[in-house]
Amino acid sequence: MCFTMDPIVDFRSDTLTQPCEAMRDAMARALVGDDVFGEDPTVNRLEEKVAVLLGKEKSLFVPSGTMANLLAVLTHTRPGDEVILGAGTHPFNYESGGASALAGVQLHPLVEDGACYTPEQLDGRVRPPDPHFAPVSLAMIENTHNRGGGRIVDLERVHSIQAVARKHGLALHLDGARLMNAVVATGIPADQWSQGFDSVSTCFSKGLGAPVGSVLAGPASFIHRARRFRKMLGGGMRQAGILAAAAIYALDNNVTRLADDHSRAKKLVQTLQKIDNVVVDEAQTNIVIFTLSDPIPEASVILSRLKKRGVLALAVAPRTIRLVVHLNVDEHQIDHAGSVLKESIAGLPS
């Protein structure tokens, strides 16, 4: 079992996981070289492993999911292009405006139906060639969807969006930071989820428990170009095999156990469903989002109450709270958190 440094039950994010002793041992024993020269054997092994996993020709190890998504935008587009994506997606909300500032593109957010925009929305927003308009060159999907409560964008929706994108000649990027959660929840292999996308990113430092790292995968020519942009952004690491070893360990050992996180998230939902004036979404994966209505105080008050009892969470709106279950939250902690939630929200006895 991977260990935590603090007894607090921390639901703020699945990025807060701590590497277990076996992962640390794999990192310590990793064979390394200079990855900018392409000579780190452990990084090379990880990139080959992930390319096969995602059904792509090549992949590129990068420090973060934010960089992976930005590299995709830089590689697929030219300055002045337009990128269509969901209004709730990570690249639009949580990547510090990098696509606009560094790639020079215009982001066109679409209001999402559940966890994704519809094929009809995409079809209606691709404007014809005209000197007045920014040319649309890329569409993006996030799967699973963070702000959507870890929802899975089902393959039928994905395929329909892909068909529209192809009709308009758009490139497609999948932000699959938590793609392995969709794989485990549905039993559909990762390469089926990434099929039809020109590029895909996925992250090791969330539910998979590695301390650092994401990958960007796609055709060999695409990755060759993305590698230059990685260097430009300062993402060219040297003896990065120490980090890649953690990612390999995560892929080999921490994927199937995501089912435990999903089960524990559902248990939290069951607790919240019993509290009056709380509206909670069903948990498809490891994220629970619930909304408070009067007479319950706003989220900031509830978060303060939870913190005093050793439970940490985040507000995603004035009356909406997010809980993210991960490998450093065990069954006992879920039971404890359930009691604290009942007492802190509604004064119910544990």
Please check whether residues 179 and 204 belong to one and the same domain: yes
Please check whether residues 161 and 66 belong to one and the same domain: yes
The pLDDT value recorded for residue 12 is: 97
Query: For the domain that residue 280 is a member of, what is the CATH number?
Result: 3.90.1150.10
Cα four-point dihedral sign 93, 312, 5, 288: negative
Please check whether residues 70 and 134 belong to one and the same domain: yes
pLDDT in tens, 227-283: 999 999 999 999 999 999 999 999 999 999 999 999 999 999 999 999 999 999 899
Please check whether residues 153 and 39 belong to one and the same domain: yes
Which domain range does residue 262 map to? 9-14+257-346
Chain-centre distance for alpha carbon 334: 22
Has residue 20 been placed in a domain? Answer: no
Has residue 25 been placed in a domain? Answer: no
Please check whether residues 107 and 209 belong to one and the same domain: yes
For residue 121, give both structure tokens: 């929305």
Please check whether residues 219 and 151 belong to one and the same domain: yes
Q: How many domains does the chain have?
A: 2
Say whether pLDDT at 348 is over 90.
Answer: no
Has residue 23 been placed in a domain? Answer: no
Please check whether residues 236 and 300 belong to one and the same domain: no
Say whether pLDDT at 167 is over 90.
Answer: yes
Please check whether residues 180 and 301 belong to one and the same domain: no
pLDDT in tens, 20-48: 999 999 999 999 999 999 999 999 999 99
Please check whether residues 171 and 101 belong to one and the same domain: yes
For residue 97, give both structure tokens: 């405006």
Please check whether residues 156 and 227 belong to one and the same domain: yes
Domain end among 224, 253, 282: 253
Q: pTM, whole model, 2 decimals?
A: 0.94
Distance from C-alpha of 291 to C-alpha of 149, rounded to nearest angstrom: 12
**Given the structure tokens 């060759």, which residue do they identify?**
224
pLDDT in tens, 95-117: 999 999 999 999 999 999 888 99
Burial class (CB in 10 A: 0-12, 13-18, 19+), 51: buried
